[in-house]
Structure 1
Amino acid sequence: MKSQTIRTTIRTTALCSAVAFLATSCNKKADNTLNYTSAINSYYSAHPACLWSDPVKFPVQADTSNNSKTSNYDALVDQGLLVRTTAEKKVLIIASKQVNNYDLSDKGRAAWTADTTQPGYGNFCYGHRKVSSIDSSTPTTSDPGATTQVSYHYNIPDAAAWATAPETQNAYPQLQTELAAPQNAQATLTNTSNGWQVSSAKSASTASSNDGKIVE
């Protein structure tokens, strides 16, 4: 009889613990790792990682003697995102120079993310951040309006094939860094009526490459 009572007590305790855990997990306003991860992933599902820091417009023209420009665009030609034609551009009445014209290919148009605020402008976006770990967060509460600073690591598991190609990563070195291993970043989260949401975000590393930066 005593052993049955003990077993009943254990089952009851386990059930209560499970209910408490589920209640906390389902509470989007609770200050916990699960909710922080969900908020950051949700934010980046609508903010993909893109090739250039600012939207660009095609077609563009580059002097063939400007290798820093042409090599970047040529890498995208190699991946089928751009098409290249050559031409001569007059600079004086009796002089001219060789230029390359670059425009979106059919494949490029399919991969293009248009900028809704600037007709004709856009970017090549290649994937979305996914949180791999929440490393730390500043003290906060589950009250509406509360904020917390979250440090985390992320990767980009859905990276487009053109972004992982050696030619593209040589032209845009930050791509290789961004996609090689989990990266660290920070975000400010605010507790709203719909749960935790990202109010500002930034990468810990800065982007670099000749013609463009990696952006969120």
Structure 2
Amino acid sequence: MTRQNIRITLRAAALCGAAALLATGCNKKADNTVNFTSAINTYYSAHPACLWSDPIKFPVQADTSDASKTSSYDALVDQGLLVRTTAEKKKFIIASKQVNNYDLSDKGRAAWTADTSQPGYGNFCYGHRKVSSIDSSTPTTDAVGATTQINYHYTVADAAGWATAAETQNAYPQLQTELAAPQNAQATLTNTSNGWQVSSAKSSNTSSNDGKIVE
């Protein structure tokens, strides 16, 4: 074989390899880490990480003697998301207690994610999960209806400034854990006619009622 023929053969092989790679990459139903990553990232683009496990409604009122409640709201006051006013609330005819009233500020309303299923309710959401690695997956196929269990690590992309503030992370410890380093989690993916999609997801992290991450 001449040197020119060798070059032609190698070029043709390279083109075929590139075409095969492109075909694999364009096949959304292929069982590979590229498609698994895309499916999880797409899911979390519509499911942001939020401050509370359940939507809440403002204004809220907290007894000033209950530091466990006021400290978490006060941290959001420090970040300009809430405004605080004080008042007295009558307990009995001759007794009263001091309370704080908390409501959304203008900045808070801009950062507020409304719950469309519950008028008046919402959450402060601060970022989206982004897969940093696919660690393992259970055996599966590229057939429609196939499922796989994925273990992966993620980071929270583009976290809001108020969520990275020390005051907020002290009041909501899960924020510090969530944003400090890649976290591990699991997801169940199902292969559909449009490619792999998340059918269920959960985090491996545990958290308290305040600061629990919304899935």
TM-score norm. by structure 1 comes to: 0.97
CA contact (8 A) 1:50 1:123 kept: yes
> Which residue in the other structure is 1:196 paired with?
196
Residue 30 of structure 1: CA displacement? 0.4
Residue 115 of structure 1: CA displacement? 0.6
- Match of 1:125, as an amino acid? C
> Which residue in the other structure is 2:213 paired with?
214
**1:50-199 maps to which residues of 2 (within 5 A)?**
50-199=50-199
> Which residue in the other structure is 1:6 paired with?
6
Residue 138 of structure 1: CA displacement? 0.6
**Partners of 2:31 and 2:116 in 1: how far apart?**
35
- Match of 2:152, as an amino acid? Y
CA contact (8 A) 2:52 2:123 kept: yes
- Match of 1:215, as an amino acid? V
Q: Secondary structure at the match of 2:191?
A: strand
- Match of 2:113, as an amino acid? T
**Partners of 1:212 and 1:99 in 2: how far apart?**
22
- Match of 1:75, as an amino acid? A
CA contact (8 A) 2:52 2:211 kept: yes
CA contact (8 A) 2:29 2:191 kept: yes
CA contact (8 A) 1:208 1:214 kept: no
CA contact (8 A) 1:87 1:99 kept: yes
- Match of 1:202, as an amino acid? K
Residue 9 of structure 1: CA displacement? 1.5
Q: Tell me the C-alpha RMSD between the 2 structures.
A: 0.9
> Which residue in the other structure is 1:30 paired with?
30
Residue 106 of structure 1: CA displacement? 0.5
CA contact (8 A) 1:75 1:168 kept: yes
Give structure 2 stretches of 5+ with no counterpart: none
Percent of matched pairs sharing the same residue: 84
Q: Secondary structure at the match of 1:190?
A: strand
**Partners of 2:138 and 2:7 in 1: how far apart?**
41
**Partners of 2:201 and 2:213 in 1: how far apart?**
14
**Partners of 1:55 and 1:154 in 2: how far apart?**
24
Residue 212 of structure 1: CA displacement? 4.0
Residue 120 of structure 1: CA displacement? 0.6
**Partners of 1:156 and 1:55 in 2: how far apart?**
20
CA contact (8 A) 2:151 2:187 kept: yes
**Partners of 2:164 and 2:48 in 1: how far apart?**
16
**Partners of 1:147 and 1:215 in 2: how far apart?**
24
**Partners of 1:77 and 1:143 in 2: how far apart?**
52
Residue 208 of structure 1: CA displacement? 2.4
Residue 8 of structure 1: CA displacement? 1.6
Q: Secondary structure at the match of 2:116?
A: coil
Deviations 1:63-121 (A, max 9, x none): 00000000000000000000000000000110000000000000000000011111110
Residue 214 of structure 1: CA displacement? 1.9
